[in-house]
Chain A
């Protein structure tokens, strides 16, 4: 009998150590999130808001959220005028993590104790993923080990307005599963760089105090938002040394995240620092323009630039910044996966954090977000990912800024 009892204890121990799934059952719908239903057609968009809202996901809180959809509605053929990146259903992680509810962290920011709301527009949610990424391992690791990962991520990265000049809090969703056991699923609002300040894309030493952030109590974060400024276009497009304009070089944006999930003692459970890059934003910082927003398309009307580089095929003065014919609409993007660290050897898999990824607890609390972290410590390897999405662009019928 004693042996039997011991066996039972061992079995129960094994059961307790089994991996908990990331995604709980989807609950019944109880209402709509703030992010739901905020898009409506304008200009040449042919889809109605009703068709758009048909594309939604139900969050773990039972609220309806917008989610990924193609630029053209597959049922009606109408166009939305914006895109959300790569179809997540092709990711090997999709069956496990499901559709991404856009704005879930924004929704729970205040109920988790933060003193002000932070809501983001609809079109800025951009999905990117890649299966079986061959990872780099620090030192001699890449010669010795062969580790692959599936990564799916979503960042709210609006590159059409002045929002990111001052606002550093942006929603990021990041799922990673690797063959060495490294893995986590994180959803949070992460402060990228200092609030109210941006870094000049072509000169990272220059910081511009762009104004008051929204919300005003936004905390400073690691990383940076490197955004083009008029001087970048002046140096690399209008008056380049070799006479050859290079819009991509001048306009390239890089939002360099330094995000983490932490427990109640501020101990890091998982951290990641991907760089989200956009080659063709539809705006740049221009202190001489209304709202500090300059439009790259306007440079295509400069006599010396007509038909040059990205202005090729653009009729001078005939294409508006928000036209589908503009070559600047934020559809050429890629992600540097970079480092992925897990320090969760003692478990459990499921942690509940506030919307900023802090105050992690093993029990849910008001405003908490359910996060999943592998029971692992991968400090022995410096696991770095490469670039994903560089050979793709997400242009499609009707796609235009704001996108």
Chain B
């Protein structure tokens, strides 16, 4: 799905749901969700192709509400794009936390820590990644919410390898995503 269609869908969801409905979002117990994103990824190093490539991604996550203002869990997903005959992929997994500054409101700030791995045929990169972002929950039913978020994953201090042989050091990886999700609770 192209980014502009995702944006239009999000806008439609935002305008279709009354703001008051957000007060009914449950904020306790277990949660789980699935997300799809349009995102761009870029490797950064002296030798790296610095083009920011646009691709799509999916992500699964689950966890629990720690309190009405804090939702924690784990997530895992993959981003991919095709560049000619080569398919580039970024895998990620880690812990994630969402802080709701105003409990009962859909606005939340996102932080996460985990692993990111880049793969393109024999080329590979693995590093610790940090996630920062913000999102907005929109209630669909009593148990489900939809929403959107913007996140940035950043990883650095890894080496880029080709068939196990290092070809570049001090490599960074960033993935910016615009995400639509549905989540139970």
Q: Does A179 contact B (CB under 8 A)?
A: yes
Q: Does B161 contact A (CB under 8 A)?
A: yes
Q: Which of A139, A147, A179, A379 contacts B122 (CB 8 A)?
A: A139
Q: Which of B47, B84, B160 contacts A146 (CB 8 A)?
A: B47
Q: Does A231 contact B (CB under 8 A)?
A: no
Residues of chain A lying within 8 A (CB to CB) of residue B46 = 179-180
Q: Are B86 and A140 in contact (CB under 8 A)?
A: yes
**How many A-B pairs fall under 8 Å by CB?**
53
Q: Restricting to B50-97, which residues have a CB under 8 Å from any CB of A?
A: 50, 83-84, 86, 88
Residues of chain A lying within 8 A (CB to CB) of residue B161 = 380
Residues of A in contact (CB 8 Å), total 13
| Sampled A-B contacts (24; CB under 8 Å) | A139-B86, A139-B162, A140-B122, A140-B123, A141-B123, A141-B162, A143-B83, A143-B84, A143-B86, A143-B120, A144-B43, A144-B49, A145-B47, A145-B167, A145-B168, A146-B48, A146-B50, A147-B47, A179-B46, A180-B167, A380-B163, A380-B167, A381-B162, A381-B167
Could you list which residues of chain A lie within 8 angstroms of chain B, going by C-beta atoms? 139-141, 143-147, 179-180, 379-381
Q: Are A380 and B49 in contact (CB under 8 A)?
A: no
Q: What's the least CB distance linking B89 to chain A, in Å?
A: 11
Complex Cα distance, B49 from A139, in Å, reads 15
Q: Are A144 and B50 in contact (CB under 8 A)?
A: no
Q: What's the least CB distance linking B50 to chain A, in Å?
A: 7
Residues of chain B lying within 8 A (CB to CB) of residue A139 = 86, 121-123, 162
Q: Does B165 contact A (CB under 8 A)?
A: yes
Residues of B in contact (CB 8 Å), total 22
Q: Which of A147, A179, A380 contacts B165 (CB 8 A)?
A: A380
Q: What's the least CB distance linking A140 to chain B, in Å?
A: 4
Q: Are A144 and B166 in contact (CB under 8 A)?
A: no
Q: What's the least CB distance linking B123 to chain A, in Å?
A: 5
7 closest Cβ contacts across the A-B interface?
A380-B165, A140-B120, A140-B121, A380-B167, A140-B86, A146-B49, A380-B162
Binary contact track B149-163/A, C-beta < 8 Å → 1, others 0: 000000000001111
Q: What's the least CB distance linking B65 to chain A, in Å?
A: 41
